[in-house]
């Protein structure tokens, strides 16, 4: 689910990060929202399990280039490349029960040995980019960041503050986190594992209608 409000400058990234036309939130979606909102401060609200690394980097770069203040807010979940989007804010807020996660980029690939080596090289380049961003934003050495990526490191709200992923907690009432299938990540906190039906195992937002209803309430309270 993706939405924005030209009046308030809010952008909601409440879905997986995907390329255009794949049903999630793309860099094109966010760039279009920034253009529509214009030259004013932005608040980017995140509830996402991550997704396409390069689309996520496109979102990060677009927010970094915005000339007005950018506030990012982890409303529930900022995992994988969504944690990088979180770091695009000059002010970064974490809801009390929110989680963030950083890990090494991964891909499903098939083909010849040459094809697989090309994929590995691409992943190495992507990881180097991620390490540079985390190193700059978190104030850590590259070796420390690499170790955290290798371990698939999760952060609750307090740990997000301690590690500078967030700069403050938000007063926003917590919402349900994006559902994460048990096999999506290696160390998903139990609080994020939902008892989904078999047919919903691959869906990040099985309760999409409920989430959309909550988004409408949040927007109504702003007016």
Q: With contact defined as beta carbons under 8 Å apart, do 54 and 21 qualify?
A: no
Does the annotation count 26 as an active-site position? no
Does the annotation count 107 as an active-site position? no
Which of 48, 103, 170, 179 is catalytic? The answer is: 103
Match 């040459």 to its residue by tokens: 114
Helices (H), 66-139: 81-86, 113-138
Which of 26, 27, 48, 80 is catalytic? The answer is: 80
Active site residues: 80, 103
């Amino acid at each position: 689910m993706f939405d924005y409000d030209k009046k308030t400058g809010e952008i909601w990234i409440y879905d997986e990060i995907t390329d255009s036309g794949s049903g999630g939130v793309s860099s094109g979606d966010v760039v279009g929202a920034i253009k529509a909102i214009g030259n004013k401060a932005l608040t980017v609200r995140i509830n996402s399990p991550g997704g396409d690394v390069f689309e996520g980097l496109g979102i990060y770069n677009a927010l970094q280039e915005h000339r007005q203040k950018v506030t990012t807010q982890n409303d529930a979940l900022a995992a994988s490349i969504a944690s990088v989007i979180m770091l695009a804010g000059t002010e970064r807020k974490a809801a009390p029960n929110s989680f963030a996660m950083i890990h090494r980029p991964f891909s499903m690939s098939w083909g010849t040995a040459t094809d697989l080596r090309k994929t590995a090289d691409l992943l190495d380049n992507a990881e180097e980019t991620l390490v540079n961003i985390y190193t700059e934003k978190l104030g850590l050495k590259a070796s420390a960041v690499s170790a955290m990526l290798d371990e698939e490191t999760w952060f609750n709200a307090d740990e997000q503050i301690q590690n500078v992923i967030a700069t403050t907690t938000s007063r926003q009432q917590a919402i349900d986190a994006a559902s994460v299938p048990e096999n999506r990540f290696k160390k998903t906190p139990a609080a994020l594992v939902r008892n989904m039906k078999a047919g919903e195992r691959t869906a990040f937002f099985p309760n999409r209608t409920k989430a959309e209803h909550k988004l409408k309430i949040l927007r109504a309270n702003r007016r």
